[in-house]
């Protein structure tokens, strides 16, 4: 690895964070009331983001009727994400949800930040308070209306305008990335999130137990420091994401309020101990050794202070302390590497990754960068890489020590070559030491291979879940969109035709109302089972596009061939008898077909839009028929 390139990469990352801080926008006066519309056709998740009115309550004493007074001046959030960093103020947010339906609509409002002290929601309809909640991490977990690690507040939206006021106050950071969920979609997304969190937690647990086994084999204290660091970070991670409060200590409100700062401090403590011991600073440099000793003492003191000082103080000190510790550990590692300690190379790579991830995480907590999938998971990505690379580091040092030991043995044999009587004893000692060392290295290598196999299995499972629809076991929309973009580029280069067929079950709501959602699911599975065997060409894709909609991508297929295939499916679906709980369900479907040779005017989105318009025409013409774009020919 080029040491200069690594240093430049770290400086570039820190400059990007500084630029993000300079570009953060203030807030401006706002007289509008941001509106979000919900209906049966709206997405299952709506991200509110910065589209909210904002009122800062520096007294933390305003009541709902006071903030609703006409004299109160609300402001517009002009920064890219509603993150306000550490603050002692209370923040009020407001927005409006318009229910476009004729019936009440069930929705969840989620705040995916589980460490806010006080969360209050007020839901008004026609000037009357309809629903209110008061939550927070300073209340017992059992009082939450929805058992979830985040703050989830169910609402029953009346038809028309629904005014939402939310108050946040905390001794830590204020972050307000609210989400409006359809309940069904919320629980589906929750399952995916738990799978990801389980993967991260599983990796950390595997590395803890693996290195604990290695410690009992080697009695190397570095493994204990490494295990202490990984365990501390694991508890910090589950505390930060709310899983610890939800499943480990739901009744320990006081402990939960300080757990984050405690585990941040203990992580810093073990990181400092590991750096000083692993780099052998006591023999390399006395000033460097005293520096790491000072960091150890400061971290240990901070661990103790988290139990007596206010959380608002200790969490700020702990968050601010992480970067100096990472920089110190990284600088000492590169110094040792520069001075010829090759065993420090993986150590340097490990701390480079964690420094970048912690910089992104802390920038997000202070509201310097917007909240997204990368900033939200920066610590997870960084810690997994750190844990893996530090494990490689320990193994690499064993190999380094082994090389030094073998070289020392070779020198000893050269000096003792003239002593014929001692030669056999020395050779035997060398063979026994090498055999024992090889056995230990082989055992550790086998354990590491087993760990990597388990990680690969988990990654394969995650990849499969990300591209397959769980209900019908065919491709999902994300996979279809990716395939459409790729095949569109190929067809554009080859000047070959590309067809898209949109399929929608007729009167599917009536099926759900009559037979229930299980009956509807049976229809969707039957439809997928009917079409899947006939979409077998390389490049062709059958996917569930959403709800009761399916879509087919047909390569090198003319309009005539695509229409014929769609008509065949339509006729087969009409004849299809679906058994369900002793009854038979019969359904029909409408088809929209679009075909053409891609060019600059016929983009993937345009091709999809044409198929959708043809499907709409089929619905308009009485359903159970096939229509094409632009001719909308009747084929049934």
- Indicate whether 164 pLDDT > 50: yes
Concatenate the DSSP letters of all residues of 184-230 into one string. Answer: HHHHHHHHHHHHHHHHHHHHHHHHHHHHHHHHHHH--HHHHHHHHHH
Which residues neighbour 452 within 8 Å (Cβ) at sequence distance 6 or greater?
A: none
Using H for helix, E for strand and C for coil, what is the string for 265-278?
HHHHHHHHHHHHHH
Dist CA 38 CA 376 (whole Å): 26
Which residues neighbour 595 within 8 Å (Cβ) at sequence distance 6 or greater?
A: 497, 498, 499, 500, 557, 558, 559, 562, 628
Look at 260 and 32; give whichever has higher pLDDT: 260
Taken in order of first residue, the domains within the chain and their CATH numbers are 31-181 (2.60.40.2380), 188-467 (1.20.1070), 477-629 (3.30.70.270)
Look at 14 and 185; give whichever has higher pLDDT: 185
Report the pLDDT value the prediction gives residue 422, as an integer from 0 to 100. 63
Find the mean pLDDT for residues 239-256. Answer: 84
Q: How many helices (H) and strands (E) does the chain have?
A: 17, 21
* Model confidence pLDDT, tens digit, residues 484-537: 999 999 999 999 999 999 999 999 999 999 999 899 999 999 999 999 998 988
Q: Phi then psi for 507, rounded to 5 degrees?
A: 50, 40
- Burial class of residue 84, CB neighbours in 10 A (0-12, 13-18, 19+): buried
Look at 543 and 14; give whichever has higher pLDDT: 543
DSSP annotation of 475: B
Highest mean pLDDT among 25-39, 458-472, 563-577: 563-577
Per the omega criterion (within 30 degrees of 0), is the bond before 70 cis? no
pLDDT band at 607 (very low <50, low <70, confident <90, very high): very high
Number of other CB atoms surrounding residue 521 within 10 Å? 15
Positions annotated as catalytic residues are 548
Report the pLDDT value the prediction gives residue 20, as an integer from 0 to 100. 38
- Indicate whether 391 pLDDT > 80: no
HSE-up (13 A, CA, CB side) for residue 230 = 27
β-partners of residue 618 are none
* Model confidence pLDDT, tens digit, residues 548-586: 999 999 999 999 999 999 999 999 999 999 999 889 999
Concatenate the DSSP letters of all residues of 43-92 into one string. Answer: -SEEE-TT-SEEEEETTS---HHHHTSTT--EEEE-SSS-EEEE-SSEEE
| Element at 303 (helix H, strand E) | helix 286-305
Dist CA 129 CA 156 (whole Å): 12
Find the mean pLDDT for residues 27-45. Answer: 75
Which residues neighbour 264 within 8 Å (Cβ) at sequence distance 6 or greater?
A: 236, 315, 318, 319, 322
Find the mean pLDDT for residues 111-133. Answer: 92
Find the mean pLDDT for residues 44-59. Answer: 91
Task: Please give the C-alpha separations between residue 9 and each of 271, 472, 553, in angstroms, as whole numbers.
Answer: 22, 45, 42
Report the pLDDT value the prediction gives residue 463, as an integer from 0 to 100. 59
Find the mean pLDDT for residues 607-623. Answer: 94
Look at 155 and 246; give whichever has higher pLDDT: 155
- Indicate whether 467 pLDDT > 50: yes
The closest of 613, 608, 610, 634 to 622, measured between CA atoms, is: 634
498-505 and 541-546: which strand pairing?
Answer: unpaired
- Indicate whether 286 pLDDT > 50: yes
Residues in the chain: 636
pLDDT band at 439 (very low <50, low <70, confident <90, very high): confident
pLDDT band at 145 (very low <50, low <70, confident <90, very high): confident
- Indicate whether 120 pLDDT > 80: yes
Highest mean pLDDT among 25-39, 377-391, 548-562: 548-562
45-47 and 179-181: which strand pairing?
Answer: antiparallel
Report the pLDDT value the prediction gives residue 140, as an integer from 0 to 100. 87
Q: What is the dihedral of CA 99, 100, 102, 108, to 10 degrees?
A: -30
DSSP annotation of 496: -
Number of other CB atoms surrounding residue 536 within 10 Å? 8
- Indicate whether 300 pLDDT > 90: yes
Pick from 213-222, 303-312, 340-349, 350-359: least confident: 350-359
Number of other CB atoms surrounding residue 555 within 10 Å? 19
Burial 158-175 (b: 16+ CB within 10 A, else e): beeebbbbbbbbbbbbbb
């Amino acid at each position: 690895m080029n040491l200069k390139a690594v240093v430049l990469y770290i400086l570039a990352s820190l400059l990007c964070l500084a630029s993000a801080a300079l570009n953060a926008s203030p807030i401006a006066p706002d007289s509008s009331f941001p509106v979000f519309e919900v209906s049966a056709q709206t997405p299952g998740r709506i991200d509110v983001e910065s589209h909210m009115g904002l009122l800062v309550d520096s007294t933390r004493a305003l009541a709902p009727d006071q903030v609703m007074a006409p004299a109160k001046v609300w402001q517009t959030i002009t920064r890219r994400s509603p993150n306000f960093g550490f603050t002692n103020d209370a923040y009020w947010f407001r927005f409006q949800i318009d229910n476009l339906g004729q019936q009440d609509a069930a929705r969840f409002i989620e705040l995916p930040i589980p460490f806010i002290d006080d969360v209050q929601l007020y839901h008004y309809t026609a000037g009357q308070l309809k629903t209110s909640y008061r939550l927070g991490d300073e209340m017992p977990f059992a009082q939450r209306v929805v058992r979830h690690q985040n703050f989830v507040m169910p609402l029953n939206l009346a038809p028309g305008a629904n005014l939402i006021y939310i108050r946040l106050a905390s001794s830590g950071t204020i972050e307000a990335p609210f989400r409006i969920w359809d309940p069904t979609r919320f629980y589906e997304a929750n399952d995916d999130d738990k799978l990801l969190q389980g993967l991260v937690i599983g990796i950390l647990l595997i590395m803890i137990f693996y290195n604990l086994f290695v410690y009992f084999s080697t009695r190397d204290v570095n493994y204990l420091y490494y295990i202490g660091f990984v365990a501390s970070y694991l508890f910090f991670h589950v505390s930060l994401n709310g899983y610890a409060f939800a499943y480990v200590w739901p009744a320990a409100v006081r402990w939960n309020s300080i757990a984050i700062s405690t585990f941040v401090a203990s992580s810093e403590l073990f990181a400092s101990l590991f750096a000083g011991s692993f780099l052998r600073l006591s023999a390399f440099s006395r000033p460097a050794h005293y520096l790491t000793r000072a960091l150890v003492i400061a971290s240990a003191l901070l661990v103790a202070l988290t139990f007596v000082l206010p959380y608002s103080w200790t969490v700020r000190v702990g968050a601010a302390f992480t970067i100096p510790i990472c920089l110190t550990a990284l600088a000492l590692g590169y110094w040792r590497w520069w001075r010829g300690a090759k065993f420090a190379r993986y150590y340097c790579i490990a701390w480079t990754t964690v420094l970048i991830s912690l910089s992104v995480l802390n920038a997000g907590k202070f509201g310097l960068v917007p909240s997204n999938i990368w900033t939200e998971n920066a610590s997870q990505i960084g810690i997994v890489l750190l844990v893996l690379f530090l494990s490689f580091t320990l193994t690499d040092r064993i190999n380094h020590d082994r090389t030094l030991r073998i070289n020392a043995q070779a020198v000893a044999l050269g000096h003792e070559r003239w002593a014929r009587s001692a030669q056999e004893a020395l050779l035997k000692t060398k063979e026994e030491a090498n055999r024992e060392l090889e056995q230990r290295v082989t055992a550790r290598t086998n354990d590491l291979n087993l760990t990597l196999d388990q990680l690969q299995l988990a990654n394969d499972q995650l990849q499969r879940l990300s591209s397959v629809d769980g209900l019908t076991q065919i491709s999902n929309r994300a996979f279809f969109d990716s395939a459409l973009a790729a095949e569109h580029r190929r067809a554009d280069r080859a000047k070959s035709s590309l067809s898209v067929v949109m399929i929608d079950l007729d009167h599917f709501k009536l099926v759900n109302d009559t037979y229930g959602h299980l009956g509807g699911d049976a229809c969707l599975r039957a439809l997928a089972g009917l079409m899947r065997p006939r979409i077998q060409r390389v490049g062709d894709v059958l996917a569930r596009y959403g709800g009761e909609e399916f879509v087919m991508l047909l390569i090198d297929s003319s309009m005539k061939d695509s229409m014929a295939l769609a008509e065949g499916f339509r006729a087969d679906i009409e004849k299809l008898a679906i058994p369900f709980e002793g009854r038979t369900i019969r359904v029909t479907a409408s088809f929209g077909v679009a075909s053409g040779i891609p060019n600059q005017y016929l983009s993937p989105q345009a091709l999809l839009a044409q198929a959708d318009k043809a499907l709409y025409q089929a619905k308009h013409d009485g359903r159970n028929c096939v229509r094409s774009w632009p001719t909308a020919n009747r084929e049934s």
